[in-house]
Chain A
Amino acid sequence: MKDLRDSKDSRDSRDLSNYRRIIAIALKDLRSMLKERTFVSVILLLVFVASFASVLTFGLLVLYNPTYLNILFENELKVGVAGDAPVLQSFFDGKHYFSIEDALYDFYSGKIDVVLWLPKENLTSGANYVKVFLPRDEVKSVQASIVIKKKLLEYQDCLRKVRKMPVGGDLRIYTADYERLEIPEGVSMVFKFIYVVLIPLMMITTAVIASGLFIDLITEERETGTIDLLVAACKKEEIISGKILASILLPVILTPIWLLLLIMNGVEIHNFFAVLSISYSFSFFMISISALIVTFFKDRERSQLVFSLVTVGLMPILFIHPFMPSPLVTRLSAGSEFGAELTPLYFIISLILLYSSKKVVKI
C-alpha cells in the first residue's frame, strides 16, 4: 500500500516537473517576444487591419451612399439639361440648353458641373436614352452621380405613372410606438462592415499570427541548432507542448483585447464568451494545421510558404457556409443565435486537434 502511494507521489511530482518544463519553454519564447517587442508589431498589425477595413468601407460609402457625402461637398451642384425633354428638365432645377454644344461649353467653362442630354423625350411609349456628362477625377462627379440617380429614379416613376403602371415597391418603417421612421439608405453597409467584415477579419488575422508564430518557434530552434540543447534538458513532447502553449497564449491574450477595443469604440458585442470561444477554436485549428505543415516541411522557408498557400485557399471557404466559423462569429457577435449550439462543438474539436498535433509534430 505504501509502495503504491509512493509510486503515485513520484508520478505526481514527475507530472508536476513536466508541466514546469513546458511552462518554462513557453515563458522563454514569450520573454523573447516581449524583448523583441513582437507584441507591439502584432497590435500594430491588428490596428492597421481594422483601419484599412474602415477606409475601404468609407470608400464604398462615399461612392454609393448620399448620406455620407455631405462632409465632402461645399458647393451646390449645378446641372444643365440639353435637348427636347421638358419632363426630364422639370426634375432638375438647372439651366436648359437646346444644343449639346452650348451645354458642354458651359461645362468646360465651369458654369455647370454636369450635363444631361436627351435629344427627344418619349413620354407614352419607347425608351429614353439619357447621356450624362460628368467631370473626370472630381469629387463633384460622385455628388452628381448620386443626385442624378435619385432624380432619374423619380423620372422613371413619373413615366411609369404616365404609362399607367403601378408605382410601389416601398417599405414603410415604424418604431415600436408606431411612429413613422425614415432610415437613410445604406445603414446596413456600416452595420455589415463591423460584423460581417471587421470581426471575422480580426479573428482570422489573430489565428494567422499565432500559427505563423508556431512555425517560427519550431523552425528557429531546428535551424539554429538550439533544439539539441533543449532536447538535452527536456523531453521532445515537453518542448512541443511548450511551443504550442506559447502560440496559443497569443490569441488567448489578443482576442479579448481586440474585442474590448471594439466595445470601447461603441461596437456592441453580444454573446461575448461564445465569440471568444469561436475565435479561440479557429486559432487552435490554424495552429494544428501549422503543426502538421512544420512536421512535413521541416524548414521555415517551405513551411511558411505552404502555410501561406493553405491560408489563401482556406480563407474564402470560411465565408461560404452559414455554419462556418466566419458567419457564425458574425451572427453571434451581432446577437443572432442561429447555429450557436455549434460553438462548444467547435471548441472541443479544436482542442482535440491541438492535442493530436502535440503527438504529430516531430522535431
Chain B
Amino acid sequence: MMMSLEIQKLSASMTGILKISAIELKKSRKKYSKVSFLAIILISLISISLLYFAVSSGIKSDSYLYEVSGVQIDDYRFVTVEKNPDIYVAYRNGYKAIVTGSDKSLAAADELRKIIRQNHEIELYQKFGTEAFPVFVKAEFLEREVKLQHLNNSRFSIPQIERKASEIQSIESGVSKSDKSYRNDKSDNPAKIISESLKGSFDLPIKQKSGYTTPSDFNPQSLLGKMFLAFFFIIPSYFTIQLFSASFLEDKTLRRLDVLLSTPLKPVEIYLGKMLPYLAFSVFLILSTSLILNESLLALLFILPFILFAFSLQTYIVLLSRSYKEMTFLIMVSSFIITAYLFIPAIFSGTIPVSKISPITNMLSLFETGRFDLNGYILSTSQFYILFAILSFTSLKTMNPEVMHSSAGIERKILASLQRWIKRPVDCLLASILAIPFVFIVEFMLISVIFSMPPQYSIPVFILAISLVEELFKTSIVYSAYKNSGKIILSSFLTALGFFVGEKILTVIEIGRNYMNFLLAGYLLLPLVLHVISLLVFALLVERKGYGFAFGFAVVIHFIYDYGILLILGGAGL
C-alpha cells in the first residue's frame, strides 16, 4: 500500500517534470524561429571552420618576435634588423651568439640553440641515415606503493615485495616479448621514429606514444597532449548551460517563475523540468563528441557530474543575481574557476597523486590505456555529485520570491538562502560537513593564485586566505542557525565539530591526507580546538559588535593558530 503510494507520488512528480520540460521546449521553439535557428547554425559552422583553419594553419603568435643581426636565421620567429638586435649571430667553427642580457635576448638565444640542434640532427640524418641515431628509448610506468619517507623509513614491507614478485615475472616476460617484437613492428621502425622526432622537435612533447622515440623526444609521462580533447567534451556543453541559465534568468526577471511556484508543482519539479531538455542536449553533445573523436562513450560518465555541478551552480547564481550584468560576471568568474579546478590537476597527471582528483585525468587515462579505474572514477567524480546535490538543494530553498527578488547584496542573499534551511543548531553539524567540498575547491584554487607570488609573501598570504575562507563558511553557518534559533553557543560548537569531522573524512582519502597536512589540519584534535575557539569568539562578539567585526576576530585567531603551528613545525624541522 505504502509502496504503491510512493510510486504514485513519483509518477506525479515525473509528470510535473515532463510538463515543465514541454513548456521550456515550447518557449525555445517560439524564440528560435527558423531564421534565427538557421543563422545560429550558420554562425556555428563558420566558427568551427575558422577554428579548424586556425589549428591547421598553425598558431604563430611569436612571429618576428626576436630581432637578430649577423647570420640570417631562416625561422618565422626571427627578423633581421640593422640596429639594436636582441642577438648577434656569427658562424666560425660553429655558431656563436652575443646577447644583450635582456630577458628577450636570452630567450632568443635559447630558441636559436634549439633550431641549431634540430638542423644538426637533420644534417646527420641526411648524411648517415638511420645509423646517425644509435639510441632509441621507450618508457614503461609501473605502480609501486610509496610511503612518505619521513614517516616510515622502510618504505616497503616484505609481503609487499613478495606480492610484487609475480608482477615482476609478468613484466619480464612482457619485456622479452616486446623486445623481440619491436624489430618486426613497422610502426616502430627507426626511420619512422627519426622522421617523427625531426618533425616535432619544436612542438610541445605531445606525440609520445607507446613506441620508441629518440632521446631528444623522450619526455616525462603526461596526458597534456590529450588535454585539448577534454576541451572538445566540455566546451559544447557550456553553450547548453549558458542557454539554460539565460532562460532561467528570463523566467525569474519576468516573474514567470513566481507564477510557476504558485501552482501545485513542487520547486524540485520546476527546477528539474527546466533543466532536463538542456541536460539531455548536453548528453547528446558529449556522446556525439565521443563518436566524432572516436573515443570511448564512457567519457560521458566523467563529464556528466561536472556538467550537473555547473548546471546547479549557474541556477544558484541566477537566483542570487539582481541584474543581467551581475549574473553575467558572476557566471564568468565562477565558470572560469570551476573549469580551472577541473583542468589544473590534470596538467600534473602522472606526476603527483593530486592530479587524480580531476575527472579529466581519469578520462584521458581511459583514452590512453583503455582501462576504467573504478576507484579513480569514484574519487574524482563523487565531489561533483555531492556539490550538485548541495547546490540544487540550496537553490530549491532560494526559489522563493522574497529571496530571489530582494535588492540586497549578494552576500546577504547567500546568508538568506542558507537561513532557509539551516534552522536549528543540529543543522549546523550537517551543513559544516557538507561545506568541506566547497572549501576544498576554493582553497585549491587559492593555492594556484597565491602560488605565483614571491615565496616570502605567499606563505603568510596563503594562511590568511585559508583563514578567511574557512571562517567565512563556518561563521555563515553559525549565523544562519543563530538568526533562526537564537542558540549561538550550541550552533558554534556543532559547526566546529561538523567541520572537524568533514576534515577527518577528507583525510581518509590519500590525496586529501596530503592536502590536509599541507593545510595544517591533520594534527589530531588540535584543529577541533581551533574551530571551537574561533567560533566561540565569533559567538560572543556577533551579538554586541555585529557580523563583520566578529568574523574579523575569528579570522585573526585562525591565522595566529595556523601561522604558529607552521613556525613550530618549521622550528622542529618537520
Contact = CB atoms under 8 A, between A and B. Distances in A.
Given A52-B340, A52-B344, A220-B325, 17 more contacts: A36-B409, A48-B333, A51-B451, A108-B167, A127-B190, A128-B134, A128-B136, A133-B141, A133-B171, A136-B142, A152-B215, A163-B134, A172-B95, A173-B113, A301-B31, A320-B60, A334-B104
Given A48-B337, A130-B137, A319 B146 contact: no
B323 interface: yes
A200 interface: yes
B161 A336 contact: no
Interface stretch (A58-66, A231-239, A341-349): A58-66
A321 B60 CA distance: 7
Contact of B155 (A29, A110, A127): A110
A105 B164 CA distance: 8
Contacts of A176: 98-101
Contacts of A302: 31-32, 36, 40
Determine the main DSSP class of B at the interface with A: helix
Interface stretch (B2-10, B116-124, B298-306): B116-124
A134 B99 contact: no
A149 B218 contact: yes
Contacts of B120: 168-169
Interface string B56-73: 011111111111000000
Interface residues of B, number: 138
Interface in B510-534: none
Contacts of B50: 313-314, 316-317
A105 B246 contact: no
Interface string B339-352: 01000100110111
Given A48-B449, A188-B110, A216-B325, A131 B97 contact: no
A109 B156 contact: yes
A156 B124 CA distance: 13
B219 A171 contact: no
B492 to A, nearest CB: 29
Contacts of A312: 47, 51, 235
A331 B216 contact: no
Given A145-B218, A296-B39, A301-B31, A107 B142 contact: yes
Q: Which of B134, B140, B333 has the most CB of A within 10 A?
A: B134
A185 B58 CA distance: 24
The 7 closest A-B pairs by CB, nearest first: A169-B120, A313-B47, A316-B54, A59-B347, A301-B246, A191-B107, A152-B215
B58 A320 contact: yes
Contact of A152 (B98, B135, B144, B249): B135
A134 B140 contact: yes
A265 B246 CA distance: 38
Contacts of B31: 299, 301-302
Contact of B253 (A129, A191, A223): A223
A187 B448 contact: no
Given A48-B336, A107-B142, A137-B353, A175 B98 contact: yes
Given A127-B134, A142-B351, A174 B239 contact: no
Interface in A86-117: 100-101, 104-105, 107-110, 117
A32 B323 CA distance: 9
B124 A165 contact: yes
A52 B171 CA distance: 39
Interface string B247-281: 10110011000000000000000000000000000
Contacts of A174: 96-99
Interface stretch (A2-10, A14-22, A38-46): A38-46
A327 interface: yes
Contacts of A60: 204, 224, 347
Interface stretch (B11-19, B125-133, B499-507): B125-133
A56 B347 contact: yes
Given A312-B51, A322-B60, A51 B448 contact: yes
Given A59-B347, A170-B116, A319-B59, A308 B179 contact: no
A117 to B, nearest CB: 7
Contacts of B119: 169
Contacts of A249: none
A314 B63 CA distance: 19
A137 B139 CA distance: 14
Determine the main DSSP class of A at the interface with B: helix
A216 B324 contact: yes
Interface string A265-308: 00010000000000000000000000000001101111011101
Contact of B239 (A51, A296, A305, A326): A305
B62 A297 contact: no
29 contacts: A36-B322, A41-B330, A42-B329, A45-B329, A55-B344, A63-B222, A64-B204, A110-B146, A127-B134, A131-B139, A138-B146, A160-B132, A170-B113, A187-B107, A188-B106, A188-B110, A212-B332, A216-B323, A216-B325, A301-B31, A301-B243, A302-B31, A308-B242, A320-B57, A320-B59, A327-B63, A331-B64, A336-B66, A336-B67
Given A108-B161, A139-B351, A165-B132, A300 B97 contact: no
B350 A137 contact: yes
Given A220-B323, A313-B46, A136 B40 contact: no
Q: Give the interface residue-count category, chain A.
A: 35 or more
Contacts, number: 408
Q: Which of B47, B94, B165 has the most CB of A within 10 A?
A: B47
A131 B181 CA distance: 14
A119 interface: yes
Interface string A71-90: 00001000000000000000
Given A55-B451, A145-B218, A137 B355 contact: yes
B30 to A, nearest CB: 11
Given A135-B141, A334-B65, A145 B221 contact: yes
Interface string B444-473: 010011011000000000000000000000
A209 B502 CA distance: 37
Contacts of B43: 306, 309-310, 313
Contacts of A101: 168-169, 172
Contacts of A320: 53-54, 57-60
A60 B344 CA distance: 11
B59 A131 contact: no
B143 interface: yes
A62 B355 CA distance: 14
B36 A297 contact: yes
A183 to B, nearest CB: 5
A125 interface: yes
A171 B97 contact: yes
Contacts of B216: 149, 153
Contacts of B79: 336, 338
A19 B59 CA distance: 44
Interface in A186-200: 186-188, 190-192, 195-196, 200
